[in-house]
Amino acid sequence: MPHIDLDTSSDLNKKTKILCTFGWRMALAGAETRLIMRCCHDMAKAMHVINPEFTLTRSFFLVRCCDGNSHYAERIAKIKSLGINMNSVTRLNFIANDVISGEITDLDLIYHKIRAVRPAHYNKNMLIPIEAFAASAFAYCNGGSATVCLAALIGGFMLMFFKFWLLKKGFFETFVFMACAFLGCATTYIMCTYVLNASADETRLAIMATTLLLVPGFPYMNGFLDIFKGYLEIGVMRLIYSIILTACAASGLLGALYLMWI
């Protein structure tokens, strides 16, 4: 009968901690489930772990490793949210490749390298105008005139400003999406109607381009990829999360359209 290894300084516990920390960090950064599992299995094989078991859900990542001598170690890490940070995913993947190829073999060094990966954050003061220009580009790509692009630019700026401000204040993401869709739509409508004298069709196009900023495209993509590759549980959870955010944004948009009689 297998016995749990209580020696936290043993190689088995160190390897389990490395694999759990790696998978947990990859999940937090928004990595695809298949990539997380493949990297963890390959790293476990490179570290001579026998029959490792990995369980990834929306709320935790569990690792269980055996050493072949009736001893096993188990570690779990809670996942508060699945973010999006491709910089972290790339750097963690490089570390995994170094471990798999045998370039790094020291267990303490591997662990510290994984822990040293910190998410790269954009400057919010730069990200807001960048997203606003993206809304303007959406309008242009859909045949919008200069008037439509300008209205989408201003509406997108206000939408992203309030999004970051509300998130900083600690509001739930669902409420933030709803409120920002309402405020962005209202700003665009006011600009089109009272400042730029845009037509009804131009107003609708500008509003559409503005609210496109709230579509959670990356979670949708990861959700479908997980489902198609057999990871149904977490794939469905990703899709449910994406659908809820989309519904919240749609509620804010429809509320603004109703109040403004568009």
| pLDDT tens digits, 123-134 | 888 889 999 999
Last residue of a domain, one of 116, 135, 166: 116
87 shares a domain with 10: yes
Q: Do residues 64 and 174 share a domain?
A: no
Mean pLDDT, rounded, for 145-165: 91
| 134 & 238 share domain | yes
Q: Give the domain-ending residue among 54, 86, 116.
A: 116
Question: pLDDT tens-digit profile of 223-238?
Answer: 888 898 888 888 898 8
Residues 101 and 139 occupy one common structural domain: no
**Residues 131, 72 share a domain:** no
Q: What is the pLDDT of residue 153?
A: 93
Q: DSSP of the chain, one letter per residue? A: --EE---TTSHHHHHHHHHHHHHHHHHHTT--HHHHHHHHHHHHHHTT-EEEEEEE-SSEEEEEEE-SSSEEEEEEEE-------HHHHHHHHHHHHHHHHTS---HHHHHHHHHH-------HHHHHHHHHHHHHHHHHHTT--HHHHHHHHHHHHHHHHHHHHHHHTT--HHHHHHHHHHHHHHHHHHIIIIIS---HHHHHHHHHHHHGGG--HHHHHHHHHHHHTT-HHHHHHHHHHHHHHHHHHHHHHHHHHHHTT-
Domain finish residue from 67, 88, 116 = 116
Do 170 and 101 reside in the same domain of the chain? Answer: no
What is the pTM for the complete model shown? 0.80
pLDDT over 90 (residue 97):
yes
Binning pLDDT at 50, 70 and 90, where does residue 9 land?
Answer: low
Asked if residue 77 and residue 36 are part of one domain, the reply reads: yes
Residues 43-50 have a mean pLDDT of 90
Q: Work out the number of other CB atoms within 10 angstroms of the CB of residue 207.
A: 28
Mean pLDDT (whole number) for 155-175:
91
Q: Looking at residue 1, what is its pLDDT?
A: 44
> Does residue 212 surpass a pLDDT of 80?
yes
One domain for residues 144 and 192: yes
pLDDT at position 35 over 60: yes
- 142 lies in the same domain as 27: no
Select the highest-mean-pLDDT range: 86-95, 190-199, 212-221. Answer: 86-95
Residues 195 and 179 in one domain: yes
State the chain's mean pLDDT as an integer.
87
pLDDT value of residue 213: 87
Question: How many domains does the chain contain in total?
Answer: 2
Q: Give the pLDDT score at 261.
A: 67
Judgement on whether residues 81 and 132 belong to the same structural domain of the protein = no
Domain residue limits at 147: 124-259
Mean pLDDT of 56-71: 82
Domain match, 134 and 231 both: yes
Structure confidence at residue 41 as a pLDDT band (50, 70, 90): very high
